[in-house]
Structure 1
Amino acid sequence: MDTPRTVPAVLRAAATAHHARQALVDDEVSLSYADLHAEVRTTARALVALGIRPGDRVGIWAPNSWQWAASALAVTYAGAVLVPLNSRYTGHEVADVLRRTRARALVAADGFLGRNQVDELRTAAGDGDASPIPGLPDLTSLIRLPYPGAGSEGVTYADLARLAGSVPAEDVEAVADAVSADDIADILFTSGTTGRSKGACSAHRQTVSAAREWARHGKVGPDDRYLIVNPFFHSFGYKAGILACLLHGAAMLPQPVFDVAQALRRIRHEKVTVLAGAPTIFQALLDAPERGEQDTGSLRLAVTGATIVPVSLVERMQAELGFDLVLTAYGLTEAVVATMCRPGDPASLVARSSGRAVDGYELRIGRPGGNEPQPAGVEGEVLLRGENVMLGYLDDPEATAETIDQDGWLHTGDVGRVDEQGYLTITDRLKDMFITGGFNVYPAEVEQVLARLDGVVESAAIGVPDERLGEVGKVFVVRRDPDLAEADVLAHCRERLAGFKVPRHVTFVDALPRNPSGKVLKRELRQATK
């Protein structure tokens, strides 16, 4: 049997091989692989009934849930392109992505965390035609996953079964058959140093391959039960989560918001074997007062990364949480799962490195501004090349050319070194990005938002150490209005930025340090905070 190379083919193969095995558990909902396949086909028929055609873009703005998984798989089953949206995004951020992708439909968790997402989006989009959200003329359908306090716009997820009745099942199966490994499967948005988000486009073959490599090195199998706390809107939750499970018949246990007490209860009661996430998640489990009351002996595999991992943390994860296998990995939206440790690597190597290149990638440390290789042990920019490097940025050939050179090397903007065995250690960033609780934050985006606040002359954002989250944002603000207060700055950011991007600290200064060419010297700002 041929190896599946499209997301619909992966789902079909899973439903055939693991028909009655539990695929997804979410509160009171438990779906077998046969049930999941049926749910996806019904949702895909409903999408077709709503006018979605192959190549159309469909956004999902929601937390982890069984409906997210079914909706995402249905998007690709209908031949469309998945556009995951951060569940913490504001209406302004979502409107921008929907416009740029010309999305035809949006699945939104209205009422999640007490917000009114649809109202936020309507306000942010502004006036326009008679589409479901005026100001977004390409958007023809709004599907709500209702939470307490949700509005009544659009159709609910429960309405989809009725809508599906107008589309013959064989029509959708024919569409799924026609999906090619080279078709675009998803567009995941990331941000660059300019602060303007960029949509990384991946083909089905690339999305499936990334998930397969992650699962292969973690030895994921049909007996695994994977508590997925990494958000589905991120490649770590979608590709190294949902799809990794589909490829090997493992059970998915989505958690919408990380709550340490709830995670410990689920680990015990649902016999969780796999858990992946930023080091802060594992530190929180170790430090939880409830840990002594919960049995974590079912845990088998942990995969972490995104920041420095202390050796002591790896050792405690094994000794106190019971993990048999702890691995670190490195990747980015443009090149998911590029390097990974291997089973049998010692704790010291797992902690200090991000592993070596997985199949489908070449890893090189290059000189700044070029791709000439540096010898082992010498720092330089991390470069990646291979068939799993993104196709390019959506509608942005200039940014694509700046990131992927003529020889096919992806310039990551990260600084690192490799040892004689090819293991990668990330040592710094060429870009100013910092990581808060596993999420990338780009200072330029924060600075652009503050540039629109009355009373601000200019600002500079940096990441500063934080015991719980690894790093948090600190912003230095030059103000023209002496009455402008820290509370004003934070309120402005909270209205326009996802919570993890909002600075935790504000310092007002008379001027920002600059070099002779006028560039802000963020190194001096970082030194001033030590």
Structure 2
Amino acid sequence: MQDWTVHNALTEAVVRHPNKRFLICNEQSISFKELDEISDVLASALLEEGFKKGDHLAVLALNQFEWLYTYFAAAKIGVAVVALNVRYRDSELVYMLNNAKVKGIVSISEFQGFNYPSFFDGIRDRIPTVEKFIYIETGTVCSPSFKELISRPLDKQRLEAAKQTVQEDDPVIIIYTSGTTGKPKGTLITNRSILESAKAQVDHLSIGEEDRTIGCLPLNHVGGITCTIHCSLLSFGSVVLIPEFIPETILKVIDQWKPTVFGGVPTMYIMLLSHPEIKSFDLSSLNICIIGGSNVDPELCRAIELQLPEAKIINLYGLSESSGACILSRLTDSIEMVQESIGVPIGQFKVKIVDNERKALPTGEDGELAIKGRCVAKGYLGLEEETEKVFSGDGWLYTGDIAYLDHEGYVVYKGRKKEMYIQGGYNVYPVEVENILLSHPKVAYAAGIGVPDEFLGEVGLFYIVPKQGQTISSDELIAYCNQHLADYKVPRQIVFVNHLPQTPAGKIQKTILKQQYLAQLQ
């Protein structure tokens, strides 16, 4: 029996449907066979450039063919892709590249006015392990170029030898998730764990080769790489890649390509459904609408039902540590059930609810949600203590989320045990933002909480105590954060205060800040 690896899954698709269109983007398409052949050439070229099993190759790009050429090429030779967000800036990129000891970077040259070649040239001395800078666009001066790498002759014998060394327990992608220490944690997702999550989702939702999925969730997130790409790979379906989420673009793509599956966070649905010209587009092909990132609001459910009456609404719960989806609504669930519960464990995965001592709690009692199954990732890169806290020795993943099980085995999500909030579908940990704010020369103390927002679900509200004698404005702090953080982490609200509530040990009491905020709303 062959190992359950990403490259073997692609080979199976080539054997079954070699010329079927798998990826579609900007009027171009790539078949399973073409993806396999191009990634073979790139994998061979990477070997020639000195990459070997166990190395890490960062990808900083939009949802585009080159991202996936690189991913599948790296998977074939046992090189783990370090998935980066195009919104990351210096503090995040420098930390992640060093933490992962990245050997090379495949990057776009520009995004929204940000010049990546100039940026990386300016920080080379701060990322000493990075030997190769490979830019996707033609015209960018670099050696080797991406175009040149995929034009080289294939060393088939060397490549086949490398493929034979790849095992299902080897990391295939590293996705960074922020931690309560303020430092992002690199989740080691393996060949087996990513495929197990995707296969469980495919089987649970009866996704087949006739299905076509909109690929608008970023590929550096499990929503994009697992729930979209690998689900379509294993079901022999197809994906319409969307480089950047623009509501009108999505509506036009649905009208043109007639996809059957759309997956997004609530904010995406709100933006689409509120588009003034939505009635002029034919959206009737959609029969599954998957919503991840937070509970489905009843009002949003009603809006989806109104605009997409033929579509089944599905809740999806998953995280980087579970490699993708692990809990989903059933296709037979009523709209009331979708609003009340995030669903049931899929595949052979198991769930339990535990107390603070990690003892199982009875049905109906709130506690921490724990997941067990072959979808669980390997742990965190270089963080043994954090890994031991979250990934137990007997296979359980402790999520830090609060939930309870009802009498029918459905998981009812209550909130987060951690301080993390979800802004527009992106996870944000206040401590990471606080660390940036505290690096500002005029800031003495900073404390952030997530507060409700009608459009984004939650946004960051940060309380600031300026240093004595210093005057600072909200605009100045927001501009400062924009220089150092992804835009979705930048505070949306800043409140200046003279002091922050503290415990006798000197820790800021964020529960009091939350209570004070809620009291103001009453």
Q: Which TM-score bucket, shorter chain as reference?
A: over 0.9
SS of equivalent to 1:365: strand
The aligned runs of 1:101-500 (5 Å cut-off) are 101-123=100-122, 125=123, 133-146=124-137, 151-162=140-151, 164-165=152-153, 167-335=154-322, 336-368=324-356, 370-480=357-467, 481-500=469-488
Choose 171-180 or 292-301, whichever is displaced more. Answer: 171-180
Q: What one-letter code is carried by the residue in structure 2 that aligns with 1:251?
A: S
Choose 178-187 or 424-433, whichever is displaced more. Answer: 178-187
SS of equivalent to 2:63: coil
1:42 Cα shift? 1.5
Is the Cα–Cα contact under 8 Å of residues 116 and 151 in structure 1 kept in the other structure?
no
Q: 2-side partners of 1:72 and 1:251: how far apart? A: 17
Q: What one-letter code is carried by the residue in structure 1 that aligns with 2:101?
A: R
Choose 400-409 or 49-58, whichever is displaced more. Answer: 400-409
1:305 Cα shift? 2.3
Q: 1-side partners of 2:295 and 2:193: how far apart? A: 27
SS of equivalent to 1:220: coil
Is the Cα–Cα contact under 8 Å of residues 104 and 140 in structure 1 kept in the other structure?
yes
Q: 1-side partners of 2:294 and 2:35: how far apart? A: 35
Is the Cα–Cα contact under 8 Å of residues 173 and 188 in structure 2 kept in the other structure?
yes
Q: 2-side partners of 1:348 and 1:155: how far apart? A: 55
Q: What one-letter code is carried by the residue in structure 2 that aligns with 1:161?
A: I
Is the Cα–Cα contact under 8 Å of residues 448 and 463 in structure 2 kept in the other structure?
yes
* Change in CA separation of 1:121 and 1:463 when aligned onto 2, cut-off 3 Å: farther
Q: What one-letter code is carried by the residue in structure 2 that aligns with 1:352?
A: E
SS of equivalent to 1:178: coil
Q: 2-side partners of 1:30 and 1:258: how far apart? A: 19
Q: What one-letter code is carried by the residue in structure 2 that aligns with 1:51?
A: G
Q: What one-letter code is carried by the residue in structure 2 that aligns with 1:437?
A: G
Q: 2-side partners of 1:103 and 1:24: how far apart? A: 28
Is the Cα–Cα contact under 8 Å of residues 87 and 233 in structure 1 kept in the other structure?
no
Q: Which residue of 2 aligns with 1:75?
A: 74
Is the Cα–Cα contact under 8 Å of residues 302 and 323 in structure 1 kept in the other structure?
no
Is the Cα–Cα contact under 8 Å of residues 360 and 388 in structure 1 kept in the other structure?
no
Q: What one-letter code is carried by the residue in structure 2 that aligns with 1:136?
A: I
Deviation string, structure 1 residues 46-73 (Cα, Å, up to 9, x no partner): 2112111111111101111111111111
Choose 517-526 or 285-294, whichever is displaced more. Answer: 517-526
SS of equivalent to 1:354: coil
Q: 2-side partners of 1:323 and 1:74: how far apart? A: 38
SS of equivalent to 2:164: helix
Q: Which residue of 1 aligns with 2:513?
A: 525
Is the Cα–Cα contact under 8 Å of residues 204 and 347 in structure 2 kept in the other structure?
no
Q: 2-side partners of 1:476 and 1:76: how far apart? A: 44
Q: 2-side partners of 1:520 and 1:31: how far apart? A: 53
Q: Which residue of 2 aligns with 1:514?
A: 502
Query: How high is the TM-score relative to the length of structure 2?
Result: 0.95
Deviation string, structure 1 residues 138-164 (Cα, Å, up to 9, x no partner): 2221111228xx8523433211133x3
Q: 1-side partners of 2:389 and 2:458: how far apart? A: 28
Q: What one-letter code is carried by the residue in structure 2 that aligns with 1:501?
A: K
Choose 426-435 or 384-393, whichever is displaced more. Answer: 384-393
Q: 1-side partners of 2:131 and 2:470: how far apart? A: 47
Identity of paired residues, percent? 31
The RMSD of aligned alpha carbons is: 1.7
Q: 2-side partners of 1:386 and 1:248: how far apart? A: 21
Q: Which residue of 1 aligns with 2:59?
A: 60
Structure 2 residue runs of 5 or longer lacking an equivalent are: none
SS of equivalent to 1:213: helix
Structure 1 residue runs of 5 or longer lacking an equivalent are: 126-132
Q: What one-letter code is carried by the residue in structure 1 that aligns with 2:58?
A: G
Q: Which residue of 2 aligns with 1:503?
A: 491
1:506 Cα shift? 0.8
* Change in CA separation of 1:271 and 1:4 when aligned onto 2, cut-off 3 Å: farther
* Change in CA separation of 1:264 and 1:4 when aligned onto 2, cut-off 3 Å: farther
Q: Which residue of 1 aligns with 2:34?
A: 35
SS of equivalent to 1:289: coil
* Change in CA separation of 1:108 and 1:279 when aligned onto 2, cut-off 3 Å: same
